[in-house]
A and B are shown apart, each in its own frame.
Chain A
């Protein structure tokens, strides 16, 4: 049975009208499966009749036309009469209805989709239905809708309650209308929304930056960012999040970043000064989000730490100029505390970011390499370690505390460019600790253990050879030269009593070994003397130098400075030092003429027979020679060798190399131990040319050649 076009369309139209009524919510019974079957069969028949009775094309066209008709007659008028939020609600409703309608209609016309449309590659029914809405409704209204939405967003930003679900539904329309493309959402809504956001926060920021302190501003900024993020999760499309946050960060942080950080009473400087760790952490979180945002923060951090450190240097300088030697010890302590404090800042507030590690390092390098009142930091650190480690030092610490403190010193050492100088000072001081039994921890030094065994066997030897006994108790510590720093030797004319001791020991030592040479270092010796003073007899604990000077008075009542100097065969420096310790310090064993506080070459000395003290046994200290100059000289010499070796090593592998890369490589090779001076390197190159290790290229004066 054949169906004519108008006859069939009549049936379809009836179904369409029923559908309209249902969707509009008018009283209308639901579709039954018979209704549905009838509609489907009608369309099917109309499409499968032989031409010219195949009405597929006509049905396809009328499908669109009737949807358009419905929109123009019903949908648009109802939208046009509404405004703002009401318009939005109506739109959501109309869009929902429209989708329902298109879904039903496509079922009725399903056969078109399956054959006619597929075969001719036409737009599918669903798409045609939605496109109708887009062309007729969306295109007319999207501007109004966008403005209404943005205005609601701004209301929400100002703290008003808004219907988020409504916005979510509206924005879904922008997305769905793209049918898989985001263009409509992005171009018709998102662009304008982002512009509005920028304008909104630009207004806000310009007020806040005037009125608020830096911490308050940051609190607001962080809160805004949090809210915007929530906004996205509530109703914006997720793809908007990075763009939206970028706008907000830009207006709140990038634009006013410097002004904010530099705020006089509450900016970054002030926060560091007042230890506002929470605010600083917030600052890090905020500024880490904007491009290059952390650079100014880390630079202020570096300035601040440098300032604090420099203040410590200044304090220590002042203390030193007031002759407070503890000042230097305290200084190192304080530098360690400073480092602890700001390292914690770097790890806690600044999340271990490399920029801040670098800033901390650079700051410490600046003031750690300054030195305090003539002492380099290398020396101060070595002295500090020595004080911690020696027995009865000024610091009394548990083993754990010592370990912990030393680890901190090692961290500081990383900032010091003269590591070799530290090593040399440290070595000297270690030797002193070990030799004078001041070290709290020396069991492992084999050389000292051997020396003690040696002493035991010397005592046995004396027991067995009664005639060899010098009549004085003698303890000798025999050490291996290379293991210890170098000391002056053989400089003192020993008193006869002691010469005998030396000979006895030498004889003993030859019985033990034939091939070793003993070098005596009198400057490190100590003696216990019995002093027969008129009030009482006392025991004096002195150095070998002091003892030698005192023993001169066994045979003379009065000696001039020059006589003492000649008899002892010592330098002026040594003579002044030891005479001062015996005549001008706490214990005046010698009477100096004239009686002044300093030693002069025209002075004379007499034994003070009246001397006494409430103790029976006293130790007369001899301040050690200032080793600083020698240490620095030694280190300079070592550096010359190190630079020579480095240059030769480089040139040996390169054969020819230009001046600048040679210098750079040399600096890099040696940087671990010290920072070589460029002039020092040039000087060594000059020297190596003289010694025929290098030559300058004939044609290129900047090029050196290695001479094998």
Chain B
């Protein structure tokens, strides 16, 4: 435990007692991964980190204990295993939903409920791109050209994951707009079908 804490303090900001964006930047360079790498998001998920860009001591302990790492070297070695864990279907939904909530800004009282299109596109690419490359690419294209939505909420975010899992792609033969799909997906499918003809 002491060693885990020592590693924490080596990255933490002295005055706030947290690992802040600067600390994470340093951690990333020691781990030899980019700070926009999906593995950092996975690490945050493992720690159940609440605020984007910050790790608390409690979160740090929770994550590193679970990964059985008490130094940076071990942490680095644990990353491939973490990646496998996340990709297990039972964990992935949780991770995907976490990714959205992690990116919401604002404090607890006035927490945002939705994320702007530009950030959503980056997040999709990061969190879902390696699973559903083609769906994600098309959806990002669509989000960028459409003008009906400026933000995306959690329901729409989760709806897209369900879409990727349930709908034939690119055939779309089993997509039924009569069902309760979020409207943004109806519009997406309409756009895709128009493109295809």
Contact = CB atoms under 8 A, between A and B. Distances in A.
Contacts of B65: none
A465 interface: no
A686 B179 contact: no
Interface string A681-693: 0110110011010
A330 to B, nearest CB: 40
A398 interface: no
A589 B59 CA distance: 79
B114 A690 contact: yes
Interface residues of B, number: 15
Contact of A701 (B114, B156, B180, B184): B180
Nearest to B183: A682
Output the residue of A660, A685, A696 with the most chain B CB within 10 A. Answer: A696
A660 B113 contact: no
B155 A686 contact: yes
B162 interface: yes
A690 B113 contact: yes
Interface string A659-697: 110000000000000000001001101100110100110
Output the residue of A660, A682, A685, A695 with the most chain B CB within 10 A. Answer: A682
A692 B182 CA distance: 15
B178 interface: yes
Contacts of A278: none
Contacts of B180: 658-659, 685, 696, 701-704
Contacts of B114: 690
Nearest to A679: B183
A331 B191 CA distance: 38
B186 A686 contact: no
Contacts of A658: 180
Interface in B179-196: 179-180, 182-184, 186
A676 to B, nearest CB: 13
A686 B178 contact: no
Contacts of B113: 690, 692
A690 B153 contact: yes
Nearest to A662: B180
B5 to A, nearest CB: 37
Contacts of A686: 153, 155-156, 182-184
Contacts of A682: 182-183, 186
Contacts, number: 37
Contacts of A679: 183, 186
Contacts of A703: 180
A704 B114 CA distance: 19
Nearest to A703: B180
Given A686-B156, A690-B114, A659 B179 contact: yes
Contacts of A660: 178-179
Contacts of A683: 183
B153 A689 contact: yes
Nearest to B159: A701
A701 B162 contact: yes
Interface in B153-186: 153, 155-156, 158-159, 162, 178-180, 182-184, 186
Nearest to A689: B155
Nearest to B151: A690
A683 B113 CA distance: 17
Nearest to A682: B183
Interface string A210-231: 0000000000000000000000
A702 B156 contact: no
Nearest to A694: B155
B140 to A, nearest CB: 20
A683 B155 CA distance: 12
Contacts of B178: 660
A192 to B, nearest CB: 58
Contacts of A695: 155
Contacts of B156: 686
B164 to A, nearest CB: 13
Contacts of A701: 159, 162, 180
Nearest to B190: A679
Nearest to A660: B178
Contacts of A689: 153, 155
A690 B159 CA distance: 13
Contacts of A690: 113-114, 153, 155
Contacts of B182: 682, 686
A702 B178 CA distance: 10
A683 B184 CA distance: 8
A682 B177 CA distance: 10
A701 B165 CA distance: 13
Contacts of A685: 180, 183
Nearest to B113: A690
Nearest to B158: A696
Nearest to A700: B180
B102 to A, nearest CB: 19
A702 B155 contact: no
Interface in B55-91: none
Contacts of B155: 686, 689-690, 695-696
B181 to A, nearest CB: 8
A703 B156 CA distance: 15
Contacts of A696: 155, 158, 180
A115 to B, nearest CB: 85
A686 B114 CA distance: 12
A218 to B, nearest CB: 46
Contacts of A659: 179-180
B83 to A, nearest CB: 27
Nearest to B180: A659
A702 B186 contact: no
A691 to B, nearest CB: 8
Nearest to B155: A689
A689 B113 CA distance: 10
A660 B180 CA distance: 8
B185 to A, nearest CB: 10
A342 to B, nearest CB: 35
Interface in B107-166: 113-114, 153, 155-156, 158-159, 162
A682 B182 CA distance: 7
A682 B189 CA distance: 15
Contacts of B162: 701
A695 B182 CA distance: 12
A686 B113 CA distance: 13
Contacts of A704: 180
A696 B183 CA distance: 14
Contacts of A692: 113
28 contacts: A658-B180, A660-B178, A660-B179, A682-B182, A682-B183, A683-B183, A685-B180, A685-B183, A686-B153, A686-B155, A686-B182, A686-B183, A686-B184, A689-B153, A689-B155, A690-B113, A690-B114, A690-B153, A690-B155, A692-B113, A695-B155, A696-B155, A696-B158, A696-B180, A701-B162, A701-B180, A702-B180, A703-B180
Closest 6 pairs between A and B when the two form their complex, measured CB to CB: A659-B180, A682-B183, A702-B180, A690-B153, A689-B155, A683-B183
Interface of B: 113-114, 153, 155-156, 158-159, 162, 178-180, 182-184, 186
Interface of A: 658-660, 679, 682-683, 685-686, 689-690, 692, 695-696, 701-704
Given A683-B183, A690-B114, 13 more contacts: A659-B179, A659-B180, A679-B183, A682-B183, A686-B155, A689-B153, A690-B113, A690-B155, A696-B155, A701-B180, A702-B180, A703-B180, A704-B180
